[in-house]
């Protein structure tokens, strides 16, 4: 009886030892796999970093070579440009910029930054005009964008129609003259922002609101040697436009306090 119990105990002990051995073997195998994955991961990371380094060095060399080639081609282009007699130059790049400006802003400016047209207009200006553009006595394109924004706020609608583009000078810089007609639809906002002195002149306000003011505007684009606009000027014939719309007496009353200069600048600093 005692012998039987001892035998059973030994058998159970053997089973337990076998199970423990299996568990230890399984754990060792899992640990080996884990260590192998860790080592493989480190190898892969080293290989990836090495490949990235090689790729970065290759891209850097490629970009450097391209920049050198672009500089060489630009120098070659400038040399070729200087060899072309002025009489044979078409000034097509400069005139195209002026025409495209009138096209891009033919319906005024979109102030909403989520509007695709807004992005297109902003991208166009930054691509054809210098960062230190001189406009209305200010430096940078922000002044130009601010003016377009004020026009959009001041009038119910804005339409710019190009009447013609011509080269007026080519030395020392190319200067393009463009003539347009601004068709401005007058609203109550126009009275508030540009004619605040007419707020209580119901008769004259009635004559203005709902009418279209057609203003002839002259534009001057001065380009640098890289065909970018470095100076931009405008001059509007506002007096003639108001005379056509109102007649001499009412025009005098409208002009006496108007918040717009002869350059077409809306004087935002004085707005209430």
Q: Supply 10's token pair.
A: 């030994």
Q: What's residue 171's pLDDT?
A: 79
Q: What is the mean pLDDT of the chain?
A: 84
Q: Which of 208, 213, 104, 192 is nearest to 148 (CA)?
A: 104
Residue with the larger pLDDT of the pair 85 and 13: 13
* pLDDT at 50 exceeding the cut of 70: yes
Supply the pTM of this predicted model: 0.66
DSSP 260: B
Least confident of 21-25, 119-123, 155-159, 175-179: 21-25
Q: What's residue 234's pLDDT?
A: 94
- The pLDDT > 90 percentage for the chain reads 49
Q: Supply 105's token pair.
A: 């802003």
* pLDDT at 197 exceeding the cut of 70: yes
Average pLDDT on 148-169 reads 93
- Please give the Cα distance from 166 to 169 (Å, whole number): 9
Q: Measured between alpha carbons, how far is residue 242 from residues 86, 185, 213, 253, 265 in Å? A: 41, 13, 7, 10, 16
* pLDDT at 272 exceeding the cut of 50: no
């Amino acid at each position: 009886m005692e012998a039987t119990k001892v035998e059973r105990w030994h058998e159970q002990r053997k089973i337990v030892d076998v199970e423990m051995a299996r568990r230890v073997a399984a754990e060792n195998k899992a640990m080996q796999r884990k260590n192998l994955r860790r080592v493989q991961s480190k190898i892969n990371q080293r290989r990836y970093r090495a490949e990235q380094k090689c790729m970065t060095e290759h891209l850097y060399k490629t970009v450097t070579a391209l920049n050198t080639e672009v500089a060489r081609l630009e120098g070659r282009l400038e040399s070729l440009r200087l060899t072309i007699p002025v009489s044979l130059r078409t000034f097509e790049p400069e005139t195209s910029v002026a025409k495209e400006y009138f096209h891009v802003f033919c319906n005024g400016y979109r102030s909403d930054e989520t509007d695709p047209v807004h992005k297109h207009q902003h991208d166009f200006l930054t691509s054809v005009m210098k960062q230190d553009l001189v406009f209305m006595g200010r430096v940078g394109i922000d002044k130009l964008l601010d003016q377009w924004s004020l026009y959009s706020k001041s009038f119910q609608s804005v339409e710019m129609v190009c009447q013609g583009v011509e080269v007026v000078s080519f030395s020392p810089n190319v200067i393009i003259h463009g003539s347009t007609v601004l068709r401005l639809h007058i609203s109550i906002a126009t009275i508030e922002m540009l004619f605040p002195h007419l707020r209580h002149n119901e008769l004259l306000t009635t004559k203005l609101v709902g009418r279209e003011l057609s203003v002839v505007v002259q534009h001057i684009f001065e380009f640098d040697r890289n065909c970018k606009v470095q100076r931009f000027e405008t001059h509007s014939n506002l007096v003639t436009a108001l005379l056509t719309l109102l007649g001499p007496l009412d025009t005098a009353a409208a002009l006496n306090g108007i918040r717009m200069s002869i350059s077409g600048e809306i004087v935002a600093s004085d707005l209430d």
